[in-house]
Amino acid sequence: MKPGSRLKSSACDTEVVVIRCGSGTIQCGGAAMSESGADAADLSPDFAGGSVMGKRYVDAAGTTELLCVKPGKGSLALDGTVLALKEAKPLPASD
Amino acid sequence: MNIALLLEMAADAASDRTALVCDGKRWTYAELLAAARGAYELIVDSGASHVALLDESSEASVIALFGAALAGVPYCPLNYRLADADLAGLLGRIAPALIVGDAARVARLVPDQGHVVYPRAEFTLAAQEAVASDGADYDTGEGVAIQLFTSGTTAAPKAAILRHSNLVSYILGTVEFASAEDSDAALVSVPPYHIAGIAALISSIYAQRRIVLLPAFAPDAWLKLVDAERATNAFVVPTMLSRIIHALDKGVHADIGSLRSIAYGGGKMPLELIHRALDLFPDTGFTNAYGLTETSSTVALLGPDEHRAAHGASDPKVRARLASVGKPLPTIELEIRGESGEVLPHGQPGEIYVRGDQVSGEYREKSALDAAGWFPTRDAGYLDEDGYLFLSGRADDVIVRGGENISPGEIEDVLLTHPAIADVAAVAIPSAEWGEAVGVAAVLRGGCDQPADDDLKELIRARLRSSRVPDRILFVPSLPYNEMGKLLRREVKLILAD
């Protein structure tokens, strides 16, 4: 797993691209994500907040950052801790 | 992450929405993506090391940009206005390339460099008709997305490279995905080889803002296109804005009430012109964007509210901000440094350094970043006490007279206050006594008598100091600018050296 990797959820339709990553397991819907998205898992009710297309998700330390490229029902997490939404700081359309 | 993924996301989320309008033809996101995937096939089959554009903007330039990205081959839009010898030199540096555009010129200039050439319409058609291969191996975007030859106003063109990671950071940091309204449309009229033109394409696609391309800028055509497509956003260089206002003054009729936002950059905006524009377009938000090729476009900007505040201000400090390029983006670090690299306090002029993920600072030959990742822009400037950035020209343009650094801008600003002077450039000229001295090329305002050299020298002496007084003043019919409105100081030097 490295920046640029595309990961699929095993528990929902979510797909992400890794912007940056440190150590730890990237999860969605309570199950580990992988490049194949195989090993279908059930969506955990504790991780069912959903992912939003085009949003970036980061951990508190700022070591892992994901871009959601396909939305789904699962919440993105790192080692069991739900990732926070990272807002873009939109420019007044400068170009 | 590959920049082409930004187009894939738009095509996933809004496949049937209009992405692009050019010469009356409309392209949806799905159609653009399909053509880019077709272009990937053409590029891979060609074995090219670069994908070059030798043409004006069109759907072909967008398809080539993303096709090259998918193939993992740098996209290299070239300045088709270059003289034959200069262009041939650049083509040699990117051989063998897949070139989209002026096939006859390539055949005439460089018949034996192994380029594969498609005229615009043939490329678009071939990309649409190419059959996607099974298991196409699209690039993951770890390498170079774009190679741009710098305009070379001070030296030979350098090959600046922007990595996918630089451009993706810029877009993700500054644009919210799918944030544009259905009615939003961005009119893009800057040449395809300018970073602002490329950034406008990628930003608009990610925001899902319809792109309206004007292949060759002309003020009447620009106004008519705003009217016909109800454009809401536009980016212009200062000379374009000047010509647009001139066309309106002459009575060109167009309803441009849809324009909510005009951004400008790429050259120095005359104060008189921006005040005039703010009066003429009272409901339009103006944004001044400062950036370089090497920084993936904008690193600082002066926003619409700041423009209005400065325009209407009586406080001279606030009013002066209209001449600034605003504040650095939140995602950018910016410092002003002195000659020995020390960080200078507010108010003191020095060289502008920037750092951030969008900053490449990298050339084909070598990286210009220092060990800590800072990029020396070679632009000179200072920050005021509230953090607004003011530019004072290129660091290379500083005149060093007897060890004293003189910024051309301070001399030019004083001379421009003279009623008989319409335009002026101050440059270094050789001096046996001082090493360098100040030379001035000036353009007389129509209907005025040419002022005496001594009067102009006295104006400088009174307003600045004696070291700023020019050794030579030459009146010329016009000053040399490139097509983006950048003053070509090296040519001014040649004129004054005669």
Express each pLDDT in B319-343 by its tens digit. 999 999 999 999 999 999 998 889 9
* Position B300 confidence tier, pLDDT thresholds 50, 70, 90: very high
B196 reaches A (C-beta below 8 A): yes
Query: By the 8 A CB rule, do B150 and B162 touch?
Result: no
Q: Which chain B residue has the Cα nearest residue A89?
A: B174
Nearest CB among B13, B263, B304 relative to A53 is that of B13
Crossing angle (nearest 10°) for helices B219-229 and B238-249: 80
Question: What Cα–Cα distance (Å) separates residue B416 from each residue in B406, B443, B459, B465?
Answer: 17, 10, 11, 17
Mutate to test the interface with A, among B3, B12, B177, B184 (most CBs of A within 10 A): B177
Chain A: which residues have CB within 8 Å of chain B?
3-5, 17-19, 53-56, 67, 69-70, 88-95
* Distance to chain B for A62, nearest Cα, Å: 14
| Partners of residue B206 in chain A, C-beta under 8 Å | 54
**Segment B384-405, tens digit of pLDDT:** 999 999 998 777 888 888 877 7
B404 in the same domain as B294: no
* Position B149 confidence tier, pLDDT thresholds 50, 70, 90: very high
By three-state DSSP, how is residue B458 classified?
helix
The answer to whether residue B95 sits within a structural domain is yes
Position B270 scores a pLDDT of 84
On the question of pLDDT at B498 being above 80, the answer is no
* Distance to chain A for B307, nearest Cα, Å: 12
**Residue B215 belongs to domain spanning:** 4-308
The answer to whether residue B141 sits within a structural domain is yes
B421 in the same domain as B281: no
Nearest CB among B9, B141, B261 relative to A69 is that of B9
Position B155 scores a pLDDT of 63
Query: By the 8 A CB rule, do B358 and B328 touch?
Result: no
Question: At B292, which amino acid appears?
Answer: L
| Partners of residue A18 in chain B, C-beta under 8 Å | 1
Q: Given the cut 0.90, state whether the ipTM is greater than it.
A: yes
Percent of chain B with pLDDT over 70: 99
On the question of pLDDT at B97 being above 80, the answer is yes
* Distance to chain A for B177, nearest Cα, Å: 5
Query: By the 8 A CB rule, do B51 and B74 touch?
Result: yes
The answer to whether residue B361 sits within a structural domain is no
The answer to whether residue B303 sits within a structural domain is yes
Q: Output the CA angle A33-B174-A17, nearest 5 degrees.
A: 15
B230 in the same domain as B97: yes
Task: Beginning with the edge strand found earlier in the chain, give each strand of the sheet holding B285-292 in spatial order.
Answer: B25-28, B18-22, B210-213, B185-188, B233-236, B261-264, B285-292, B297-302, B327-328
| Partners of residue A70 in chain B, C-beta under 8 Å | 12
Chain A with chain B: Cβ pairs closer than 8 A: 89
The answer to whether residue B344 sits within a structural domain is no
Cα distance between residue B237 and residue B189, in whole Å: 9
| Partners of residue A4 in chain B, C-beta under 8 Å | 1-2, 140-142
B409 in the same domain as B284: no
**DSSP conformation letters of B420-440:** TEEEEEEEEEEETTTEEEEEE
By three-state DSSP, how is residue B268 classified?
coil
B63 in the same domain as B162: yes
The answer to whether residue B93 sits within a structural domain is yes
**Residue B315 burial by CB count (10 A; 0-12/13-18/19+): exposed, middle or buried?**
exposed
Q: Which chain A residue has the Cα nearest residue B300?
A: A94
B411 in the same domain as B270: no
Instruction: Select from B308, B325, B360 the last residue of a domain.
Output: B308
Position B402 scores a pLDDT of 81
Instruction: Collect all residues with Cβ–Cβ distance below 8 Å to B340 and sequence separation of at least 6.
Output: none
Position A93 scores a pLDDT of 62
Query: By the 8 A CB rule, do B208 and B13 touch?
Result: yes
| Nearest in space to B235 (alpha carbons), one of B268, B206, B212 | B212
| Partners of residue A67 in chain B, C-beta under 8 Å | 1, 172
The answer to whether residue B369 sits within a structural domain is no
B137 reaches A (C-beta below 8 A): no
Position B443 scores a pLDDT of 96
Q: Which residue has the higher pLDDT, B6 or B406?
A: B6
On the question of pLDDT at B450 being above 70, the answer is yes
Instruction: Tell me whether the omega of the peptide bond preceding residue B376 falls within 30 degrees of 0, making it cis.
Output: no
On the question of pLDDT at B153 being above 80, the answer is no
Q: What's the CATH number where B420 sits?
A: 3.30.300.30
* Position B131 confidence tier, pLDDT thresholds 50, 70, 90: confident
The tens-digit pLDDT sequence of chain A (95 residues) is 788 889 999 999 999 999 999 889 999 999 999 998 777 889 999 999 999 999 999 999 989 999 999 999 999 999 999 999 998 777 776 66
Instruction: Select from B308, B324, B359 the last residue of a domain.
Output: B308
Q: What's the CATH number where B274 sits?
A: 3.40.50.12780
On the question of pLDDT at B411 being above 80, the answer is yes
Cα distance between residue B175 and residue B172, in whole Å: 6
Cα distance between residue B392 and residue B411, in whole Å: 11
Nearest CB among B179, B235, B304 relative to A90 is that of B179
| Nearest in space to B21 (alpha carbons), one of B235, B212, B232, B214 | B212
Task: Beginning with the edge strand found earlier in the chain, give each strand of the sheet holding B362-363 in spatial order.
Answer: B116-118, B97-101, B50-54, B75-77, B144-149, B159-163, B362-363
**Segment B14-44, tens digit of pLDDT:** 999 999 999 999 999 999 999 999 999 999 9
Q: What is the largest CA-CA distance in chain A?
A: 45
* Distance to chain A for B204, nearest Cα, Å: 9
Cα-Cα-Cα-Cα dihedral sign, residues B70, B105, B56, B362: positive
In sequence order, the β-bridge partners of residue A6 are A17
**DSSP conformation letters of B282-350:** TTPEEEEEEEEGGGTEEEEEE-HHHHHHHHT--SHHHHHGGGS--EE-TT-EEEEE-TTSPBPPTT--E
**Count of beta carbons in the 10 Å neighbourhood of residue B314:** 6
Instruction: Select from B264, B289, B308 the last residue of a domain.
Output: B308
By three-state DSSP, how is residue A3 classified?
coil
| Nearest in space to B215 (alpha carbons), one of B53, B89, B82, B69 | B53
What would the two tokens of residue B270 be?
A: 């005359």
Crossing angle (nearest 10°) for helices B408-415 and B453-463: 120
- What value does the mean pLDDT of chain B take? 93
B178 in the same domain as B277: yes
The answer to whether residue B345 sits within a structural domain is no
| CB-CB under 8 Å, A94 with B263 | yes
Position A90 scores a pLDDT of 73
| Partners of residue B8 in chain A, C-beta under 8 Å | 69
B298 in the same domain as B175: yes
| CB-CB under 8 Å, A67 with B176 | no
The number of folded domains in chain B is 2
Q: Which residue has the higher pLDDT, B406 or B28?
A: B28
| Partners of residue B163 in chain A, C-beta under 8 Å | none
On the question of pLDDT at B128 being above 90, the answer is yes
Position B362 scores a pLDDT of 96
* Position B74 confidence tier, pLDDT thresholds 50, 70, 90: very high
B90 in the same domain as B195: yes
